[in-house]
Amino acid sequence: MSLYQNLLLLTAISAFLSIASACSDGQCKLLDECSSDGDCEAGLYCFACQQGFSGSRCVRSTVTNQFKLLNNSLPFNKYAFLTTHNAYAIDGYPLHTPVPRVTFTNQEDMITDQLNNGARALMLDTYDFDGDVWMCHSFGGQCHDITAFGPAIDYLKEIEEFLSANTEEIVTLILEDYVGPNGLTKVFTDAGLMKYWFPVSNMPKNGEDWPLVSDMVANNQRLLVFTSIQSKEASEGIAYQWNYMVENQYGDGGMQAGSCPNRAESSGLDDKTKSLVLVNYFHSMSSKEKTCEDNSGDLINMLRTCYAAAGNRWANFVAVDYYKRSEGGGSFQAVDTLNGKLLCGCDDIHACVAGSTSGACTP
């Protein structure tokens, strides 16, 4: 062929390829190129992750609901849940103080969106501020006008609405708590959340299994709240987190490949008297640019490392920043993997379904 013919052929091939790869109107599949969210299939949205791929592509935006795909008849600790770190620290959250906010964020959509996309545990920082309980970033346990996000009641009302509209779902709140006596009890009462409260007396204290999810749903005990203040368990019936959960180091210290040390407040990850395992995987200073890579393969690798550190136990909670940022499957795939491991020993929960073709796995 002449050079001219070659060029002609190349042009024809590339034109064909670009037509072949063009998709729109909700037809684009995982990692197909896209120009808007509407191009992507349900459960995906259009996103650019410079570290992961060129251009904008469809990536996941929701987690698989394990109770709906399989069932909810197992103990609570046999399932994994997507956890949003600093769920309240949201880009563009309405200003509630007289001065502009000067602090970092960790998420990009409202609590209602987080829950609708499948987050089932929220990490929240609660402070006494301005005569009320607020969500705020810390400076030595003290909330300031410039680091305050908003009154806790607003966030809790979104959670109440979700629980009332989704009667089979369970939400876990993990509080970094700086609130004085009875402040939380009052704000949870005001938000109408006490009717969902899972009592501390029903929480396993010695490594036993949790109650069945189906029973928790039937009893309407669908809100689990953990505080970082030990004395509140006796005084207000709010569970002290590390009586029930082991947790790895948060921040950069928890992102060293191949190691999964416990955070100081938690007993060792292999302490099986605690039935729940929480894995943190986010930077000390949140970074949108790094997050799509963090939330992808690196996260899955860390979950495997922490599985070994926890005495061969898969995490129940996986906490990330900017949970929708990924190279494709991200935190959603990580949770699908955990549920697959927990529920049938496969790499993906879809492989637990009888007759499934995804992820060859014979449990």
Q: In this chain, which of 159, 344, 346, 351 binds ligand NAG, going by CB under 6 A? A: 344
- Is 73 a binding residue for ligand NAG by CB under 6 A? The answer is yes
Binding part of the chain for ligand NAG, among 69-77, 136-144, 250-258, 264-272 by CB under 6 A, reads: 69-77
Stretch that binds ligand NAG, among 66-74, 134-142, 149-157, 271-279 (CB under 6 A): 66-74
The piece of 67-75, 161-169, 229-237, 279-287 that touches ligand NAG (CB under 6 A) is 67-75
Check binding of 342 to ligand NAG (CB under 6 A): no
Report how many residues bind ligand NAG under the rule CB under 6 A: 7
Cβ-contact 107, 124 below 8 angstroms? no
| 71 is a site residue for ligand NAG (CB under 6 A) | yes
Residue 346 contacts ligand NAG per CB under 6 A: no
CB of 73 to ligand NAG, least distance (A): 4
Give me the least distance between CB of 139 and ligand NAG, in Å please. 46
Cα(320)–Cα(263) distance, integer angstroms: 16
Output the smallest distance, CB 226 to ligand NAG, in A.
Answer: 26
3-state secondary structure the chain: CCHHHHHHHHHHHHHHHHHHHCCCCCCECCCCECCCHHHECCCEEEECCCCCCCCCEEEECCCCCHHHHCCCCCEHHHCCEEEECCCCCECCCCCCCCCCCCCCCCECCCHHHHHHCCEEEEEEEEEEECCEEEEECCECCECCCCCEEEEHHHHHHHHHHHHHHCCCCCEEEEEEEECCCCHHHHHHHHCCCHHHECCHHHCCCCCCCCCEHHHHHHCCCCEEEEECCCCHHHHHCCEEHHHCEEEECCHHHHCCCCCCCECCCCCCCCCCCCCEEEEECCCCCCCHHHHHHHHHHHHHHHHHHHHHHCCCCCCCEEEECCCCCCCCCHHHHHHHHHHHHHHHCCCCHHHHCCCCCCCCCCC
What CA–CA distance (Å, rounded) separates 207 from 227? 19
Question: Which residue number, 74 or 111, has a Cβ lying nearer to ligand NAG?
Answer: 74
Q: Rounded CA gap, 15 and 305, in Å?
A: 45
Per-residue x/- track, 226-255, ligand NAG (CB under 6 A): ------------------------------
What minimum distance in Å lies between the beta carbon of 64 and ligand NAG?
13
The binder of ligand NAG chosen from 70, 87, 173, 309 (CB under 6 A): 70
Q: Is 343 in the site for ligand NAG (CB under 6 A)?
A: yes
Return the number of the residue (74 or 318) whose C-beta is nearest ligand NAG. 74
The token pair that represents 204 in the structure block:
């396993």
- Closest of 218, 164, 168 to residue 191, by C-alpha: 164
Rule CB under 6 A: is residue 63 a binding residue for ligand NAG?
no
Nearest CB to ligand NAG, comparing residues 80 and 344: 344
171 vs 169: CA distance, rounded Å: 7
Q: Do the beta carbons of residue 70 and residue 353 sit within 8 Å? A: yes
Least separation in angstroms between CB 255 and ligand NAG: 31
Least distance (Å) between residue 212 CB and ligand NAG:
10
Examine residue 338 and tell whether it contacts ligand NAG (CB under 6 A). Answer: no
Nearer to ligand NAG, 143 or 315 (CB): 315
Instruction: Name the one range near ligand NAG by CB under 6 A: 71-79, 115-123, 185-193, 302-310.
Output: 71-79
Chain position whose Cβ is nearest to ligand NAG: 71
Nearer to ligand NAG (CB atom), residue 146 or residue 212: 212
Closer to ligand NAG by CB, 24 or 71: give it.
71
> How many residues are there in the chain?
363
Check residue 352 for interaction with ligand NAG (CB under 6 A). Answer: yes
Report if residue 213 touches ligand NAG, rule: CB under 6 A. Answer: no
Residues that bind ligand NAG (CB under 6 A): 70-71, 73-74, 343-344, 352
